[in-house]
Amino acid sequence: MSSVLTTKDLETIVRWFKCRIMVYCNESWTKYGGWNFGDESYVPLFVLEKKEFKGKFVYQIVLTVKED
């Protein structure tokens, strides 16, 4: 069993919970789940940031977005 969250894990999560996940890493976004719905207001969205911490990658929930 691995302590690292993989792409396959994220794809499984969006299928189980019928949600969408956006992950920010290295100045780019990766999307998981269905993003081509007609009415998207009912689909939960989770925004995460993936970054390295003490030699391991960790995911943190994004609570605010800074606009430049």
Please report the pLDDT score of residue 25 as a whole number. 92
Contact between 9 and 2 under an 8 Å Cβ cutoff? The reply is no
Confidence at residue 5, expressed as pLDDT on a 0 to 100 scale:
85
What ranges do the domains of the chain cover? 7-61
Neighbour-count burial of 2, counting CB atoms closer than 10 A to its CB (0-12 exposed, 13-18 middle, 19+ buried): exposed
Average pLDDT for 28-51? 83
Q: Between 39 and 9, where is the model more confident?
A: 9
Q: Please check whether residue 40 is in contact with residue 22, taking contact to mean a CB–CB distance below 8 angstroms.
A: no
The tens digit of pLDDT for each residue in 6-28 reads: 899 999 999 999 899 999 999 99
Q: Determine the average pLDDT of the residues in 24-44.
A: 82
Residue 27 — left, alpha, or beta (φ > 0 → left; ψ -120 to 50 → alpha)? left
Residue 2: the pLDDT is 61
